[in-house]
Structure 1
Amino acid sequence: MASAPQTQTLPMLYNDLVPLNVEMHSNFKVRVENKAPYIVGVHAVPLTIEEFAPCQRFMPIVFSAGDNPVPLALMGLNEGANTLVDAEGKLHREDGYVPAYVRRYPWMLVRLDPEKDEMSLCFDPTCDMIGEFEEGEPLIADGEATQMTKDLLQFCEQFEESAARTNMFMTELKETGLLMDGELSIQIPESNDPFVYRGFLMVNEEKLRELRGDQLRKMMQNGMLPLLYAHLFSLQNMTDIFNRQRAQGLGPVPAFQIS
């Protein structure tokens, strides 16, 4: 079973990638479960700009540190802490938001030939959701992709398109000079010292307020301004995530670096 070319480090969550093949995987099925054991202990995942509005109601949105920052949805403030799922991956709350990066797994579009633009639907064969099971939704029927497989392909295509728009947004955001090192300090009665979180980027709200009218108008017209405020509003969820961690026995520890 040939794997996709491993010229780069595999993305977060993925252990391997195999192209879906009509002949090799004709008997493969997908088991649909309301569980995500693959994100147990994962505290942050990449987020696309289309997700800012729904996500900001439930979890903080920050930007990764480094030269090429990306938006992140924080499911926990401490490494190894995920308040979205229990120890076996079952969702804690049905009304919460599950990032598209999580929903996409174990699928992904991969360019198998670097000289061609064509991308192939691949999956992580180590995931126990896909295999030759007695029960489940078939991926291939009568030598062709089933409607489920077509829907999975469409979702992955939409994700790639959204990721491209997110990259453009981040390029523009870096050029504005609005990003700054973030820091969060939470004080609780049981501790003399506050819990301090660093290692992420956030928008400098003071600089944002000081932008010229023409700059703000441009940001409003290209859709950037609402996204920045969705990010800023989402930071109010930091304390909520902190308290959820404590209630679930997942931490916290002082001076943790979000990375």
Structure 2
Amino acid sequence: MIPLNNKQHANLKVQKSNDVSRFKDQNVIPVTVQDFIPLSTEFPIVFVKNAETGQFISVALMGLRAGVNLYCQETKWSCPVAPNSFNNAPFSLVKSSTDSDEIIVCIDEESQFISTDNGEALFDEQGQQTEFLKQKSQALLKVAESTEQTQDIVNLFAQKKLLISKQLNVKLENEQEPFLLSGIYLIDEKALNSLSAKEFEELRTKGLLPLIYAHLASLHQITRLTIKQNEFEAK
């Protein structure tokens, strides 16, 4: 990813594509709180810990085995719902420096979605942003704001000690022993119910209870994921 520049990238074009196979090796996909309720009907929404920062991250589980996204092995997305971040490529937003709040648009120069022949132009002949790039930048900004909001909320869950490490046993047909799904964290219902009335009311007034319940309800999708994993491995 390098900063987008109207001189260096004057002739670049971006092809509109729904190819999701670029995620085929990622069995967990980061999601924002805006994703929780719609995605909970299809995927388990869980939390994982960043090994470098120690921060918890909310993710959609799209495969039981590391390195295999069961939903992105083909180019076409087959589900009625998708994470908002799927629409970002080949762009991203980054801070200009660790001490600054200024953000800049970056582009992946090796992305399969860019060329100099076909697609939507990024800059006009005067070097000004095209309407396409303006709309993309606005969409990226919304995702960045959602990501920051999500991190604040997940940090709050962690501060209130609501996240608990869980190991889940699932039955895979080509495994003699139950498959151990580890490295995930869930909202601890016991800890949630043990909150003081004041703390519980804080979660309610912040509008966080629907997110918690969507996360807990989404765990029923592990059965769906297990079936899909068995079908994938039976091919």
Task: Say yes or no: TM over 0.5.
Answer: yes
2:69 corresponds to which letter in structure 1? N
* 1:53-97 alpha-carbon deviations (Å, 9 max, x no partner): 1111111111113631111111111112212122x4332x141x2
Match of 1:136 among 108, 112, 119: 119
2:89 counterpart (88, 99, 105): 105
Instruction: Tell me which amino acid in the other structure corresponds to 1:82.
Output: N
User: Structure 1-normalised TM-score?
Assistant: 0.82
Pair 1:119 & 2:103 matched: yes
Q: Shift of the alpha carbon at 1:209?
A: 2.4
Unpaired segments of 5 or more residues in structure 2? Answer: none
- Judged with a 3 Å threshold, the aligned counterparts in structure 2 of structure 1 residues 188 and 164 are, in CA distance, closer, same or farther, namely closer
| 2:18 partner letter | N
Please, what TM-score do these two structures have when normalized by structure 2?
Answer: 0.90
Which amino acid is the alignment partner of residue 47 of structure 2? F
Which SS does the other structure have where 2:101 is aligned?
Answer: coil
- Which residue does the alignment assign to 1:72? 59
Q: Does 1:45 align with 2:45?
A: no
Q: Which runs of 5+ in 1 are unaligned?
A: 1-16, 252-259
1:82 corresponding residue in structure 2:
69
Q: What does residue 36 of structure 1 align with?
A: 20
Secondary structure at 1:144 match in 2: coil
Q: Is the contact made by 1:173 and 1:179 (CA closer than 8 Å) also made in structure 2?
A: yes
- 1:238 aligns with 222
Q: What does residue 159 of structure 1 align with?
A: 143
Name the stretch that deviates more: 235-244 or 211-220.
211-220
Paired with 1:182 and 1:174, the residues of 2 have a C-alpha distance of 15
2:71 partner amino acid: L
Residues 112-166 of structure 1: CA deviation (Å, up to 9, x unaligned): 3455432211111111101212x21111123211111011101111111111111
Kept after mapping to 1: 8 A contact 2:172/2:226: no
Aligned residues: 231
Deviates more, 1:241-250 or 1:144-153: 241-250
Distance 2:151 2:232 in 1: 35
Is residue 198 from structure 1 mapped to residue 185 from structure 2 by the alignment?
A: no
* Identity %, equivalent residues: 28
- Alignment RMSD (CA, Å): 2.1
d(CA) in 2 for partners of 1:110, 1:191: 42
Partners of 1:188 and 1:113 in 2: CA distance: 46
Retained in 1: the 8 A contact 2:22–2:72?
A: no
